[in-house]
Structure 1
Amino acid sequence: MTGIRATNSFLRRADARCALHGHRLTPQRRQVLVLLLSRGGRDTAYQLLEDMRAVRTNAAPSNIYRALHFLMEQGLVRRVATTSTFMACGDVVGQHEVFMVCKRCGSVSVVHDEALRRTLEGAARTAHFVVDGQETEIRGLCESCSGAG
């Protein structure tokens, strides 16, 4: 995500989502989200920490991780385990996200798959398991790295 207009729009939606759940997007949480958005919506916690230290010299890893944890709980950020990165996301509550992670360049494409969500929820019901979020990560090569296309 780039651009001031897109960032401001995302922040307004983030404020509204937090308020809807009785929470606040505190200045520190907002700053972490702004830093993530300024990096195209995806980066590591330690890069965000480095960026935060340019603004707040006393920023600690725990500040970043607490903010990211809160943002994940609010459905504003997702963690991509394969790359140990965090991604800004919006309006995906209840959808199944499939992260296509390129092993060569590290790019991540996100696909929402309704049929896969229904299949996994059916399997969970069969196992008497209550689903509280769904993500799948698939590793491979993107179009550019595979030479396809």
Structure 2
Amino acid sequence: MKQLHQIGFLLLTAGAALPAAAQVTEPARLPVAVRFLSTVNVAPAPDDDLASGWGKTTDAAVLGDLRGGTDIITTEATLGGTVGNNTATNVTTGMNVISGGSFANASGLPVVIQNSGANVLIQNATVINLQLQ
């Protein structure tokens, strides 16, 4: 603690030793000179081989042909079914209702197919295109 007190005292003394004009002047104009001891390079030299260790480089024209491409994905499900020679006698049809909570805790791809008629063939297909990249 004594050392900390001495450092604080030295800083206050150093601040008081500066002329009043230097204490309120912009930092760029303070009488302080800072010189670097060596040159600081922030970019590699042009002759550096940045691709060494990665193999053969690809020409920019080849990359241009591969860039921004599109894939056209066509999916088709063909279903075929027939209904024939069916009889429906004294059939009562009514409402189809999906109430609140019908899909509670559902996972995957819930599919709802509803029919309120008789002698109806219901077909359904789901095509899933999954691309993992």
TM class by shorter-chain length?
under 0.3
TM score, norm. by length of structure 2: 0.18
**Which structure has the highest strand share of the two?**
1
**Which structure has the highest helix share of the two?**
1
Higher relative contact order (CA 8 A, sep 6+): 2
TM score, norm. by length of structure 1: 0.17
Structure whose CA Rg is larger: 2
